[in-house]
Structure 1
Amino acid sequence: MKRFQALVTLSIAALLTGCALEPVQPGMSQAEVFKLYGSPTRIVSLNSGTRLQYSTEPAGQSVVMVDLDVAGKVLAVRQVMMPAEFSKIQPGQWTREDVEREFGRPASVDRVASWPGDIMTYRWLSNNIDDMYFWVYLDARNVVQRTGQGMEIPVRMNDNN
């Protein structure tokens, strides 16, 4: 089952990251992106133009950002659910808004007794096979205080349950 889920996720990620027959390329128009990828899960205004977010969260593990300039032409396309992107988060400086602009909405937002603020959870694949979590810990003012990651451990039910 895990391999099947990985194949499905990889297929979606391949389509979204440009491995489809007609990948999104710099210079394409917003209309061409919509034709290839469909409607984005979220549109974010940037100083340099617009970001189209294509997220498979909460069940999936990929988030693709398509950045458009002010004229609506593609500047860049990138998959952001990866360690190199996570490492850009600056604790003490980034806010919830910054995180959602760069990674989309999280798979979940939780509270625990041992932490005073929200914990944003993102799902991602490590090495295209390992189900992982990435956590962003916010304080009461929605400022990032720390981040962490861990492996998703499947719960196995025995036949007696």
Structure 2
Amino acid sequence: MLIRFSQALAARARLAFLAGALALAGCAQPWQQFHAGDDAQAVIARFGPPREVYDLPNGGKRLMWPTQPMGETTTAADIDANGKVVDLRQVLQVNEFYRAEIGKWTRTDVLVNFGRPVETSYFPLMKRNVWTYRYEEDNVWYFLYSFYFDDDGILRLTQKTPDPLHDPDRRSLF
């Protein structure tokens, strides 16, 4: 009797595991359906016309589909001069932001890498232009990532702060 019970329990556990694995398989992000070498037109057919297009140094293009101002993602497709996908990814994430080089990157570098910011500001006492992007970290935490530029357009500082849009104590302020 005990053996049958444990066998039934093991069978249920296997079924639960398989159901969970299938559910996770359905969680693949849209940009993960494409690979290097795929035709750019297939990407455009899936996502629609890009909202932003930037020239890349190698003669290719970066196509972008942002969800800002209220969303936290921007899908970017790097396309080579032959119209083939080189790379396709979600760029509003911390490992992408950390690539920005203080003292070297310009506003153009930030624009091409992350698209148009959700918000721009100028702090006169600091003499800094600030571009801010909304993003979600680890699929749990909502943040704003800000890039501070000097008057010559050179990146001088970055900052990560909690997004007040998702703070339950501050929602009544917006």
TM range, normalised to the smaller chain?
0.7 to 0.9
CA distance in 2, matches of 1:107, 1:67: 22
Q: 1:36 to 1:116 in 2, by over 3 A?
A: same
Tell me the SS of whatever aligns to 2:123: coil
2:141 counterpart of 1:134: no
Residue 75 (structure 1) aligned to one of 64, 86, 92: 86
CA distance in 2, matches of 1:73, 1:66: 10
Residue 172 (structure 2) aligned to one of 118, 137, 157: 157
CA distance in 1, matches of 2:54, 2:172: 41
Residue 55 (structure 2) aligned to one of 37, 45, 69: 45
Taking structure 1 as the reference length, the TM-score comes to 0.81
Taking structure 2 as the reference length, the TM-score comes to 0.75
Residue 123 (structure 2) aligned to one of 88, 105, 112: 112
Q: 1:157 to 1:108 in 2, by over 3 A?
A: closer
Q: Going by fraction, where is helix more abundant, 1 or 2?
A: 2
CA distance in 1, matches of 2:42, 2:61: 15
Deviations 1:6-47 (A, max 9, x none): xxxxxxx933x23xxxx2222122211111111111111112
Structure 1 contact 24–36 (Cα < 8 Å) conserved: no
Q: CA RMSD in A?
A: 1.7
| CA deviation after TM superposition for structure 1 residue 113, in Å | 4.1
Q: Which runs of 4+ in 1 moved over 3 A?
A: none
Tell me the SS of whatever aligns to 2:35: coil
Point out which structure has higher relative CO (alpha carbons under 8 A, 6+ apart): 1
Q: Quick check: which has more Rg, 1 or 2?
A: 2
CA distance in 2, matches of 1:133, 1:91: 18
Match of 1:91 in 2: 102
CA distance in 1, matches of 2:160, 2:67: 19
Amino acid paired to 1:84: N
Gaps of 5+ in 2: 1-27
Deviations 1:29-74 (A, max 9, x none): 2211111111111111112211111111121111111111110100
Amino acid paired to 1:36: R
Q: 1:130 to 1:88 in 2, by over 3 A?
A: same
Identity of aligned residues (%): 28
Deviations 1:99-123 (A, max 9, x none): 0101111111012344212100000
Tell me the SS of whatever aligns to 1:111: strand
